[in-house]
Amino acid sequence: MATTASPAAAPAGPAPNPLRAGLRLERIAEPCTMVICGATGDLTERKLGPALYNTLLGGFLPPEFTVVGFARRDLTDEAFRAHLLDGINKYSRNRPAKPSIWESFAAGIEYHRGDFDDAAAFTELAKRLDRIDRDRGTAGNRLFYLAVPPSLYPEIIGNLERAGLAASGEKRTTGPKHGWTRVIVEKPFGYDLASAQALNHEIAAALDEEQVFRIDHYLGKETVQNLSVFRFGNGLFEPIWNRRYIDSVQITVAETVGVEGRGEFYDGTGALRDIIQNHGLQLLAMFAMEPPVDLSAEDLRDEKLKVLRAVKPMPPEDVARNTVRGQYVNGWVEGERMPAYRDEPEVAPDSETETYVALKLAIESWRWAGVPFYIRTGKAMPSRVTEIAVQFRRAPLALFSRAGVPQIDPNVLAIRVQPDEGILLRFGAKVPGQGLNIRTVNMDFRYGSSFAVDSPDAYETLLLDAMVGDASLFTRNDEVERAWAILDPILDTWSSGEGGPLHFYGAGTWGPPAADELLERDGRAWRRP
C-alpha cells in the first residue's frame, strides 16, 4: 500500500532571466508535474536529475514545476531530494548545484513509495497529483517517465489507466478535466518484431499515440539535431547529398566500456538489439531522409519512416556475406586491463552473444540507389566515438597523375555526434613549396570552440521537448516496428547457425579482421576516428 509523504511548500521560483527575453519563449514548459517511475535508479541520479536541474537553471521550467519520485524503496521526501542533489553534484554539466537554484528546485520535489503491481499505490498517486495541482498550480499537466525495465511497461500503464491517470483533459474519468498526460518510455522497444508489436498494442490500449514519447537519447544530441539544418539550410550540401556524388556512408557507434555490471541483461540482448535497432537505424534515417514539408513532428517522422521502408531486407543467403558479429576477449582499453566478455559476471562462459556488429545495408530509393551504408558498433573499442562519415566519389579525371602525383584521397565529411560534437571536412591541398605535392587537410568545426555556450545534454533537450509536446526527436510506433522488420531476418539467420561464425577481437582494438574484410571486398576501408 502506498504511503503519502507530507506536501512540500510552494517555492517562490527563480527570478525572470532578462537575458532570455528575446529567446524562443514557446520553449518554456507549462506548469506540470513529472512523475519518475523507478526514481531511485541509476538513470535518475546520472541523467534525469541533472537534466531537470540544468533546464531550470536555463530558465526553461516554470516556478510551479514539480517532481514526484515513485519507487519501491522506503524513502522520505528529504532523502529523495538528497539523492537527486548528490547526482547533480556528481554528474551535472553545471556543478555543484547553486544553493538558490537548488532550494527553488527542491521545494517542488516529493517522493511516493509504492509497488508498481499495487493498484492502490496508483490510486494514492492520483490523490497526490490532484493535491499538487491545487497547491502548486500545475494545471493538471502530468509527464510520466518510465525509468524501469520494459517488461514493467504494460503493468504500470495499465495501473495508470485504472487509476484514471492515463487520459488527458476531457477524456479523464477522475481528477481535473483539463491538462495533458504524456508518457516517456525508454529503449529497448521490444526484443524482436513480434514483441514490439505486442508492446505497442498494450500501450495503445491505454494511451493515444500522441501521448507516447519513445526516447532515444542519441536523437537529442546537438549534432544529430543539426543534421537537418546542415543539409536543408545550406545550398552547398543538399545538391550533392545523393548517389551521384556520394560513394558510401559509414555510421560508427563505438564504446570503450564493457558490459558494466549488466551481464545478465546484455547476454540476452547483444549489440544488434542494443544499439543498431535504435541508435544506428535512427542515425541512418535522419541522415538519408528527404526534405520534410515542414519541421512538424509528424512530417519529420514520416520521412524517417520512408527511409526505413526503403532499406532492402536481407535474405538469409546474404547475411553471412553482409554482416559480421564479434565478441571481445581480454585486452587493454585506455591503459586498463579488460577481461574477456565471457569472464564478465552473469555472462555464460560459452556465450555466443555479439558485442560487436558490422553490417552493410542498401536503401532502395532514387536518391540512394547503389550507395552502401556500413554500420558498426562495438564494446571495448579503443575510443568512445559516434560519427557519420560520408565518403564522396573521387574526382573523375586523372589530371594530377600526369604530373607524377599519385591518386588523391577522396573527400570525407565526418559528422561527429560524440564526444566532441562537430563536423570535419577532409580535402586535398597543395603543400607549399616547389613542385606539386598534394596532401589531405582538414577543416574542423567544433561546437565547443565555435559557440560561447555549452551544448545541452541530450536528456535536457528531450525532457523539455516532451513537456512542450514536441515529438520530433522521439520514435513513433511504426518506426520501431519497421526497424525490427529490417533486423529480424539477420537475428533469425544468426540463430539458425547459417549467418556466419562469431569472430573474436581483442579489447582495445577496432573489431575482428572480418569487419575490415567486409569493406575491403568493395574496395573500401573503415575510417579510423
Q: Beta strands 3-4 and 109-113: pairing type? A: antiparallel
Q: What pLDDT, on the 0 to 100 scale, is given for residue 23? A: 37
Confidence category of residue 218, pLDDT binned at 50, 70, 90 = confident
Q: What pLDDT, on the 0 to 100 scale, is given for residue 232? A: 87
3-state secondary structure 468-523: HCCCCCCECHHHHHHHHHHHHHHHHHHHHCCCCCEEEEECCCCCCHHHHHHHHCCC
Output 152 or 4, whichever has higher pLDDT. Answer: 152
User: pLDDT for 20-45, tens place per residue?
Assistant: 333 334 578 999 999 999 999 999 99
Cell numbers that stand for 236 in this block = 552547398
Is there a catalytic annotation at residue 279?
yes
Q: Give yes or no for a cis peptide into 96 (omega within 30° of 0).
A: yes
What CATH class is the domain 219-456+480-520? alpha beta
Output 137 or 529, whichever has higher pLDDT. Answer: 137
Cell numbers that stand for 492 in this block = 533469425
Q: Which option is the CATH number for 3-186: 3.40.50.720, 3.40.50.10800, 2.40.10.10, 3.40.120.10?
A: 3.40.50.720
User: pLDDT for 46-94, tens place per residue?
Assistant: 999 999 999 999 999 999 999 999 999 999 999 999 999 999 999 999 9
DSSP 220-271: GSHHHHHHHHHHHS-TTTGGG-STTTEEEEEEEEE-S---TT-HHHHHTT-H
Assess contact for 360 and 373: CB atoms under 8 A.
yes
Residue 333 in 3-state DSSP? Answer: strand
Region 189-199 average pLDDT: 94
Weakest mean pLDDT among 203-212, 264-273, 433-442, 505-514: 433-442
CA-to-CA separations, 281 to 35, 482, 487, in angstroms, rounded: 30, 10, 10
H helix or E strand, kind and range, residue 3: strand 3-4
Region 327-349 average pLDDT: 95
Q: What pLDDT, on the 0 to 100 scale, is given for residue 191? A: 92
Region 521-525 average pLDDT: 95
Q: Of 13, 12, 94, whose CA–CA distance to 49 is shortest?
A: 94
Q: What pLDDT, on the 0 to 100 scale, is given for residue 220? A: 85
Which residue of the set 83, 112, 217, 279 is catalytic? 279
User: pLDDT for 295-323, tens place per residue?
Assistant: 789 999 999 999 999 998 899 999 999 99
Global pTM reads 0.89
* Residue ranges of domains in the chain: 3-186, 219-456+480-520
Phi, psi at 334, each rounded to 5°: 50, 40
Confidence category of residue 16, pLDDT binned at 50, 70, 90 = very low
- Asked whether the predicted pLDDT for residue 408 surpasses 80, the reply is no
Mean pLDDT for the chain overall: 89
- Asked whether the predicted pLDDT for residue 517 surpasses 80, the reply is yes
How many Cβ atoms from other residues are within 10 Å of residue 355's Cβ? 30
- Asked whether the predicted pLDDT for residue 455 surpasses 90, the reply is no
The β-bridge partners of 385 are 254
Q: What pLDDT, on the 0 to 100 scale, is given for residue 399? A: 63
